[in-house]
Amino acid sequence: MSQRYVVIADDKFSEPMSKEEAIKKVKSYDDKAVTAYMVSEEEAERLKNI
């Protein structure tokens, strides 16, 4: 199974997606001057529980 990624922007977590989809989403946020991060699905779960 391929790795899934989550995009975090404005303290909101996206649904898990492919690496290519996540990169496109981060770039679209960047075009809007919004800071966004791409993390693995596992890391997103860890961050949600902090």
Q: What local confidence, expressed as pLDDT, does residue 2 receive?
A: 82
Position 22 scores a pLDDT of: 98
Residue 41, amino acid: E
Distance between CA 12 and CA 24 in Å, rounded? 17
Name every residue whose Cβ is closer than 8 Å to that of residue 9 and which is 6 or more positions away in sequence. Answer: 29, 34, 35, 36, 37
Residue 20: give the domain boundaries.
5-48
Domain count along the chain: 1
Task: Give 2-47 pLDDT, tens digit per residue.
Answer: 899 999 999 999 999 999 999 999 999 999 999 999 999 999 999 9
Could you give the CA distance from residue 5 to residue 23 in angstroms, rounded to a whole number?
9
- Look at residue 1 and tell me whether its pLDDT is greater than 80: no
Tell me how crowded residue 36 is: count the other CB atoms within 10 A of its CB.
18
* pTM listed for this prediction: 0.89
Q: Using one digit for the tens of pLDDT, what is the confidence trace for 38-47? A: 999 999 999 9
